[in-house]
Amino acid sequence: MAAIIEKIITTDEIKTDEYLVNIGPQHPSTHGVLRLLTKLEGEIVHNVEPHIGYIHSGIEKMTEALSYPQIVHLTDRMDYLSAHMNNEAVCLCVENALQVEVPERVKYIRTIFDELQRLASHQLWWCASGMDLGALTAFFYGLRDREDILDIFEETCGARLTLNYSVPGGVMFDIHPNFQKNVKAFITKFRKKLPEYDKLLTDNIIFQNRTKGIGILSKEDAIAYGVTGPSGRASGFSCDVRKHHPYSAYPYIKFDEKMGTEGDSFTRWKLRMDEMWESMNIIEQLIDNIPEGDFAVKMKGVIKLPEGEFYQRVETARGEFGVYIVSDGKKNPYRVKFRSPGFSNLFTINHIAKGWKIADLVAIMATFDLVIPDIDR
């Protein structure tokens, strides 16, 4: 008997079997139809294999049959939480290709919308990841404040989620007369509300234990895996397109690129919280100085891009979004490729979730802020 126990202790025979668990496609914490084929030993994650494609809608193929203004309307179906940034990316790409200079007013409006959209996205991320960690109350706090932004969007452009506000050459309508007043009121209000978010979760000891030191992504890996956005910046990878390749009104304003060093779940969390403050700073710099002028330049009825290839990068709430248009001079593009931030971010999950527990896998997914249609396109 003693010999058997000795044998069990000295060898690895005490090991239990590995087993596979499908997390998803329908699962509360995958935020959509993502399937993670997870190999577990007890509670410990040994391997995560993401299986995507459940909501693949063939947007890249569809664009080949559509004109450029039509493509804009497809893009906000990808990352629906960064709808305006996606719209803007295509618009900027088309404008750059045609060498169209949009009015200053458009640049300001677009940037304000970018940042409002970023705020709304981060709010939803905050509440949803709070829910992933088991704090259900957070969900309602976040959604409550997000309503205000959506109301502002609705007032100006009629849509709340998929804005479709940018069009090649400008924006679809001028801003609503109440826009500036409402945005300022919102920021005043949200500056008071945001510390509440920290009180509820960030300062909570259970929350910190759940996230600190968990799921560490090093800077080298962040660059190698192309992890951009707040998730990449939390690892120290300076990847803010707004800073390095400024577009719209970003060259005119002062803002910090928030950076982290640890690269763990908590840093990713904290960084997004900091970004919300920074977004409010950006909006405040712009909101009073929107120049007068046209809200769009007159574009041709049928937009034809010159022959060639065009690439435009923007910073969405999730990271770097790229539009690669190959044009053969017709009114439809020859090929459009969308470089979605979620796609690159998702596939690091196997790299960083190995060896952690299931609960940590959920926390890591939460802090990566995945939007599945953005990954599947």
User: Where on the chain is the footprint of other proteins (CB under 8 A)?
Assistant: 19, 21, 27-29, 43, 51-53, 56, 58, 60-61, 96-97, 130-137, 139-141, 144, 200-201, 204, 206-207, 209-210, 221, 223-226, 237-239, 244, 308-311, 313, 320, 322, 324, 326, 334-335, 337, 339, 343-344, 347, 351, 357-360, 362, 376
DSSP code of 226? Answer: T
Q: 157 vs 194, which CB is nearer to other proteins? A: 194
Q: 137 vs 178, which CB is nearer to other proteins? A: 137
d(CA 257, CA 111): 16
Q: 293 vs 308, which CB is nearer to other proteins? A: 308
Count each helix (H run) and each strand (E run) in the chain, helices first.
16, 8
Q: 165 vs 338, which CB is nearer to other proteins? A: 338
* Nearest distance from C-beta of residue 359 to other proteins, angstroms: 4
DSSP code of 82? Answer: G
* Nearest distance from C-beta of residue 260 to other proteins, angstroms: 16
Strand 19-23's sheet: what is its strand order? 19-23, 35-41, 44-51
CA 187 distance to own-chain centroid: 21
* Nearest distance from C-beta of residue 196 to other proteins, angstroms: 11
* Nearest distance from C-beta of residue 206 to other proteins, angstroms: 5
Q: 73 vs 357, which CB is nearer to other proteins? A: 357
DSSP code of 296? Answer: B
Q: 252 vs 324, which CB is nearer to other proteins? A: 324
* Nearest distance from C-beta of residue 272 to other proteins, angstroms: 16
What CA–CA distances, in Å, run from 193 to 149, 159, 196, 219, 279?
Answer: 14, 25, 5, 32, 15
> Of 179, 168, 178, whose CA–CA distance to 101 is shortest?
168
Residue with tokens 């994650």: 45
Cβ distance 150 to 161 under 8 Å? Answer: yes
* Nearest distance from C-beta of residue 186 to other proteins, angstroms: 18
CA 267 distance to own-chain centroid: 16
β-pairing, 19-23 with 308-315?
unpaired
